[in-house]
């Protein structure tokens, strides 16, 4: 098959882009020709084959370009003619790409992976107080969240809903995402749950140390502040405990200030953003990986990567995390915004090395169910199903 994938960034950072890159490589191993189209805006580690002109998300032009980016529209039209893909796979298209990319796809076999809930809610299921909102976007309660942006976002939302009819199947990476979009009605009959896949990392036994690891974006919704507060309780019982925070984001300065305020400087390291190829080294040094998110995770690649390396996971019981984390077998589920529970589960694991060793074996076995090879096979079947439907209709 000739496959065209589209994403906002096309660089090796961020969940949707990393997933797209991993899937692209696996499909290429299976003999398919895969090309990617993304924005050229961010100066990062690009892997895209084709690019369209991006825009500064702080400029006034964004007000129009969020609704219609002529560059992405012209690029997709040209690629449909020149590359002539058998199928188009959309990923995150709600910023640089804009709804314009959907217009030329009316008679083209198209699938889309729903990487989060931002298609429906601009704040991705969180209100400004970072509390979870389960109501549908478009109600007057949204005015309190968005203020002057409300009517603009309402227009953008309606444009997307209209053009999303050009998509044949929506892939939900978890049952939680499926349920969320089913409650929104407009795409419920086109949803298919396929859990994301990962490249399995090298498995290694834990020999020593009481080391916690966080990997991810440093944003408010990731709940890292509650992990830092948990460290205060953890070091009371395990003074040698250490937390490594890997990643970057708008909350980094605030988290560093909180670390100083809590006098945790010698117990916490901020390692910043690291190349994806070195990620395995950080899992290998860790004893436990913590996912302290305060917003629903649509899947969490970090959790499965950690488990593939043989590491226990402590994660909040939000979103898709309970779908792959088995309580007491591969790790522990805790309430969001609850440092005490994080500390209790971490110290429980640190106190029982046999439990950690057994969990490490369990996590590896569980992670193997989510290998990128198995995932790509399922995606391949979806592609063939959609393409067959068009051939039956006589549309090429």
Considering the domain architecture, whether residues 100 and 238 belong to the same structural domain is answered as no
Give 13's pLDDT tier (boundaries 50, 70, 90): low
Return the ∠ at Cα 115 (arms to 313 and 283), rounded to 5°.
Answer: 30
**Pick from 133-147, 251-265, 381-395: least confident:** 133-147
Q: Which residue has the tokens 């995390």?
A: 321
Query: Does residue 29 fall inside a structural domain?
Result: yes
Here the tokens at position 218 are: 């440093």
Residues making up the chain, counted from first to last: 396
Return the ∠ at Cα 10 (arms to 4 and 15), rounded to 5°.
Answer: 105
Considering the domain architecture, whether residues 154 and 112 belong to the same structural domain is answered as yes
Q: What is the pTM of this model?
A: 0.92
Here the tokens at position 262 are: 């809590």
Q: Are 187 and 181 in contact (CB under 8 A)?
A: yes
Residue 121 has pLDDT above 90, yes or no: no
pLDDT in tens, 142-158: 888 888 889 998 899 88
pLDDT in tens, 321-335: 999 999 999 999 999
Q: What pLDDT does residue 272 have? A: 93
Considering the domain architecture, whether residues 69 and 181 belong to the same structural domain is answered as yes
Burial track 72-104 (b if 16+ CB lie within 10 A, e otherwise): bbebbeebbeeeebbbbbbbbbbbbbbbbbbeb
Query: Does residue 206 fall inside a structural domain?
Result: no
Instruction: Please report, rounded to a whole number, the percentage of residues in the chain having pLDDT higher than 70.
Output: 97
Residues sharing a CB contact under 8 Å with residue 132, sequence separation 6 or more, in sequence order: 125, 126, 295, 296, 318
Considering the domain architecture, whether residues 178 and 238 belong to the same structural domain is answered as no
Number of domains observed in the structure of the chain: 2
Query: Does residue 205 fall inside a structural domain?
Result: no
**144 burial type by CB count under 10 A (0-12 exposed, 13-18 middle, 19+ buried):** exposed
Query: Does residue 164 fall inside a structural domain?
Result: yes
Query: Does residue 148 fall inside a structural domain?
Result: yes
Domain membership of residue 266 as a residue range? 211-370
At 12, is the secondary structure helix, strand, or coil? coil
Considering the domain architecture, whether residues 109 and 191 belong to the same structural domain is answered as yes
Residues sharing a CB contact under 8 Å with residue 20, sequence separation 6 or more, in sequence order: 5, 7, 10, 36, 91
Give the whole-angstrom CA distance, residue 373 versus residue 112: 19
Q: Which CATH number characterizes residue 318's domain?
A: 3.40.50.2000
pLDDT, average across residues 200-208? 91
The pLDDT mean for the chain works out to 92
Query: Does residue 204 fall inside a structural domain?
Result: no
pLDDT, average across residues 264-292? 94
At 288, is the secondary structure helix, strand, or coil? strand
**Lateral strand order in the sheet of 331-334:** 268-272, 242-246, 211-215, 288-291, 312-316, 331-334
Considering the domain architecture, whether residues 173 and 96 belong to the same structural domain is answered as yes
Considering the domain architecture, whether residues 246 and 174 belong to the same structural domain is answered as no
Q: What pLDDT does residue 215 have? A: 96
pLDDT, average across residues 276-294? 94
Considering the domain architecture, whether residues 142 and 227 belong to the same structural domain is answered as no
Residue 186 has pLDDT above 80, yes or no: no
Give the whole-angstrom CA distance, residue 85 versus residue 83: 6
**Pick from 51-55, 73-77, 217-221, 243-247: least confident:** 51-55
Q: What pLDDT does residue 395 have? A: 58
Considering the domain architecture, whether residues 182 and 255 belong to the same structural domain is answered as no
């Amino acid at each position: 098959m000739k496959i065209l994938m589209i994403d906002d960034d096309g660089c090796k950072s961020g969940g949707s882009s990393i997933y797209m890159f991993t899937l692209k490589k696996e499909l290429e191993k299976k003999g398919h020709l895969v090309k990617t189209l993304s924005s050229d805006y961010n100066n990062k580690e690009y892997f895209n084959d084709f690019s369209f002109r991006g825009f500064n998300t702080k400029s006034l032009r964004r007000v129009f370009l969020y609704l219609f980016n002529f560059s992405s529209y012209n690029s997709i039209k040209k690629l449909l003619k020149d590359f002539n893909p058998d199928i188009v796979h959309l990923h995150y298209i709600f910023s640089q790409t804009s709804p314009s990319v959907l217009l030329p796809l009316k008679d083209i076999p198209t699938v889309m992976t729903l990487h989060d809930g931002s298609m429906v809610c601009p704040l991705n299921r969180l209100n400004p107080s970072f509390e979870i909102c389960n109501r549908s976007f478009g109600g007057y309660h949204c005015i309190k969240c968005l203020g002057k942006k409300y009517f603009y976002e309402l227009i953008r939302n309606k444009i997307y809903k209209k053009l999303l009819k050009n998509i044949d199947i929506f892939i939900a990476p978890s049952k939680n995402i499926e349920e969320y979009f089913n409650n929104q009605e407009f795409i419920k009959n086109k949803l298919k749950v396929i859990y994301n896949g990962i490249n399995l990392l090298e498995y290694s036994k834990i020999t020593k140390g009481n080391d916690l690891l966080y990997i991810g974006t440093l944003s408010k919704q990731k709940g890292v502040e509650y992990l830092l507060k948990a460290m205060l309780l953890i070091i009371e019982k395990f003074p040698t405990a250490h937390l490594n925070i890997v990643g970057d984001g708008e909350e980094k300065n605030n988290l560093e200030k909180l670390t100083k305020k809590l006098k945790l400087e010698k117990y916490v390291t901020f390692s910043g953003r690291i190349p994806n190829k070195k990620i395995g080294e950080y899992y290998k040094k860790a004893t436990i990986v913590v996912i302290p998110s305060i917003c629903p995770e649509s899947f969490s690649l970090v959790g499965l990567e950690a488990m593939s390396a043989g590491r226990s996971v402590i994660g909040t019981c939000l979103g898709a995390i309970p779908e792959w984390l088995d309580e007491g077998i591969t790790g522990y589920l805790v309430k969001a915004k609850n440092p005490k529970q994080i500390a209790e589960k971490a110290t429980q694991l640190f106190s029982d090395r046999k439990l950690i060793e057994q969990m490490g074996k369990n996590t590896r076995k569980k992670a193997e169910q989510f290998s990128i090879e198995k995932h790509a096979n399922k995606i391949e079947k979806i592609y063939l199903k959609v393409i067959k439907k068009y051939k039956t209709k006589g549309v090429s």
